[in-house]
Chains A and B, each alone.
Chain A
Amino acid sequence: MITFKDVSYQYGEKTPPVLESIDLQIPDGQYVAMIGPNGCGKTTLIKHLNALLIPSRGEVLINGMNTRETSCHRDIRCEVGMVFQNPDHQIVGMSVEEDVAFGLENLAVPSQEISPLVRNALSRVGMEGFEKRAPFSLSGGEKRLASIAGVLIMNPRYLALDEPTAYLDPAGRRRILRMIRQLHRDGMGIIHVTHDIGEVADADRIIVMERGAIIMDGTPAEVCSFLMSRDNPGLEAPAMAALMAKLKESGWDLPTNIISVEDAYKEIHYCMSQLAREKGFTKSPEIPSPSG
């Protein structure tokens, strides 16, 4: 369990706080997404997860370990793996295997045990055979996967990702998102910071931040409804929800708390089939309801 107790943080004594009175609990294995505009404190918040930042006030507990205790830092960093926004800025090694091995070297794992674990971590992210490649020669998506492998090798309970799809092409984005979902299915807790709510439709929970505070915390459907409501402080609503709202305005009986294309398709398809039945079109195909 990750616990934030009344956490505030400011970078300098004379600067305004970047985080203010954050209370948050993230149970094991939960997929939590964080959205919010630039400068709202998302990155600052996740840097508290593995003790890169220590709160100015309040405390952060990772499975009971307080990030203020320097002696716990190594264990905390094994519990929460952190993948930064720009993979170029976190490459430590001159080859992919050296880079991935870095975490285990720091944990003083015997040399002969490191190589098989590196191969295993690379195969988890679908990068078998990349061991000897120079990290700088990889594509953006491959660099990102290699940096995730470098964190997975430490076998963390949670994985914190800061905008993992930034700078990637659509294929690279899909690959990363597929992998995040797989890791979540395998039981890993995910903390996913993003600007695009569309890519976290599968999350268990979405936290919306603004000016260093949590202004909404709920399921994707709840957060979507919030973003479509008048309470939305100016964040962009999901494209699918906006489409559904337009259709609803035109008289279609559709929900507006939809994030993913798949869910939107199901709802529209269901609505059309109902309409076809009402109009007496007997050849209408049997379409399952969104819930079924």
Chain B
Amino acid sequence: MQNFNFGQFTADSSPLRHVDPRVKILTVVVLSILIFQATIGEIVMISLFVGLVIWISRVSLQEIWGALKPIAVFAVLLFLLHLFFTEGRDISPIPLLPVRITYEGLENGFLVVWQFAALVTAGALLTMTTPPSTLVAALEKLLRPLKILRVPTQDLAVMVSMALRFVPTFSEEYNRMKTARIARGGDLKRKGLFRKLKAAISIVVPLILSAFRRADDLAAAMEARGYARGPRTTLSELRLTRIDFAALAVMVSFAGLTMMIRFIDF
């Protein structure tokens, strides 16, 4: 939890910081579609593109790992599920292993874990290189057409901003509670699933209660500063520049190229 950095703006000096957040959000959306439809052949291409973006962003691999780490266990579980439960051609039986492993299972497991990791990396790159205020302003602008359908787009944007604001708060609160437990002789690294679960509940329940209290206080503080339904502006004003058009062109070309390769494959 201490190194949990997903959703936090950390790369202030990154060149990507100056790219309009709307372009970055659109890129993540397009990339997500490509990632979900990717075949094994396209993985290399998309991975290279994501790698190139990481290099340009100057976000360190350590920071990317910081964002991936919390989902590592989940990714391993997904991989094993696909590996063991996919029908297909048997890989030559491994002695002492009670289940069958198939080539298709291995391929699917790898694909799903890659998709998962690529999505999280793209999302982390977006939030790490974008100050939350501009991210919220961009979301609000992108969602604006939904106003016709009476979707409260401004409220949605503020909700996202509040969710991001709570990440360091929760992290801090969790560490405080953990320290308080340890100081009173609590052992949070107990062995055994049941004991581990019990130790986790002893922290999670007060954490959730504290979150509700904090949310209540924050709502009052927001109201006190005039937050209400109605027109709002944002500190950061968004304007597309040449860099943004260039980034858009790169994104469109890349998406086009990927689609073309798929078409040729067929």
Q: Using CB atoms and an 8 Å cutoff, list the residues of chain A in contact with chain B.
A: 47, 50, 52, 73-74, 77-78, 81-82, 84, 86, 88-95, 97-98, 101-112, 114-115, 118, 132, 134, 136, 150-151, 154
Given contacts A105-B232, A108-B231, A110-B233, contact A94 B9 (CB under 8 A): yes
- The answer to whether A84 and B217 touch (CB under 8 A), given A98-B132, A105-B233, A106-B232, is yes
Residues of B within 8 A of A151 (CB): 225
Among B9, B214, B220, B231, contact of A52 (Cβ-Cβ < 8 Å)? B220
A154 B133 Cβ-Cβ under 8 A: no
Cβ-based interface call for B193 (8 A): no
Our pick among B12, B132, B225, B237 for the contact of A106 (Cβ within 8 Å) is B225
A-B pairs with beta carbons under 8 A, tally: 96
The answer on a CB contact under 8 Å between B132 and A94 is: yes
A136 to B167, alpha carbons, bound, how many Å? 11
Q: Is the CB of B235 within 8 A of A89?
A: no
Chain A binding surface SS class: helix
Partner among A86, A93, A114 whose Cβ is within 8 Å of the Cβ of B217: A86
- Residue B218 lies at the interface, judged by CB distance under 8 Å to chain A: yes
Chain B residue with the shortest CB-CB distance to A112: B237
One of B133, B227, B232 near A94 (C-beta < 8 A): B133
Chain A residues with Cβ below 8 Å from B224 are: 50, 52, 77, 81-82, 84, 90
Please give me the 7 A-B residue pairs with the lowest Cβ-Cβ distance, nearest first.
A90-B221, A111-B237, A89-B217, A106-B226, A103-B225, A101-B235, A82-B224
Q: In the assembled complex, which residues on chain B have CB atoms less than 8 Å from the CB atom of A94?
A: 9, 131-133, 164-165
What are the interface flags for B113-136 relative to A under an 8 Å C-beta threshold, 1 for contact and 0 otherwise?
A: 000000000000000000111000
Residues of chain A within 8 A of B172, CB atoms compared: 136
User: Which residues of chain A come closer than 8 Å to B218, judged between CB atoms?
Assistant: 89-90, 92
Knowing A94-B9, A111-B236, A115-B235 are in contact, say whether A74-B133 is a contact too (CB < 8 A). Answer: no
| Chain B neighbourhood of A73, CB < 8 A | 228
Query: How many B residues have CB within 8 A of the partner chain?
Result: 31
Cβ contacts A to B, 22 pairs, < 8 Å: A52-B220, A81-B224, A88-B169, A89-B217, A90-B217, A90-B218, A91-B165, A93-B132, A98-B131, A98-B235, A101-B133, A102-B222, A106-B227, A108-B232, A108-B233, A114-B233, A115-B235, A118-B235, A134-B168, A136-B172, A154-B225, A154-B226
A106: nearest chain-B partner, CB-CB: B226
Closest chain B CB from A265 CB (angstroms): 39
Give B residues with C-beta under 8 Å from A.
9, 12, 131-133, 162, 164-165, 168-169, 172, 214, 217-218, 220-228, 230-237
With a CB–CB cut-off of 8 A, which chain B residues contact A114? Answer: 233, 235
With A82-B224, A103-B225, A103-B226 in contact, is A93–B233 under 8 Å at CB?
no
Distance, CA A143 to CA B223, complexed state (A): 19
Interface contact A92-B226, CB-CB below 8 Å: no
A52-B220, A98-B235, A110-B233 known; A93+B226 contact, CB < 8 A: no
- A149 vs B251: C-alpha distance when bound (angstroms): 41
Q: Are B225 and A95 in contact (CB under 8 A)?
A: no
Which residues does chain B contribute within 8 Å of A74, judged by CB atoms? Answer: 226, 228, 230
B213 to chain A, nearest CB (A): 8
Q: Are B133 and A109 in contact (CB under 8 A)?
A: no
A84 x B221 contact (CB < 8 A)? yes
Bound CA span A86–B218, Å: 10
Q: How far is the CB of A167 from chain B (nearest CB, A)?
A: 14
- Chain B residues closer than 8 Å to A86, beta-carbon distance: 217
User: Which residues of the partner chain A approach B165 to less than 8 Å between Cβ atoms?
Assistant: 91-94
* Distance to closest chain B CB from A115 (angstroms): 7
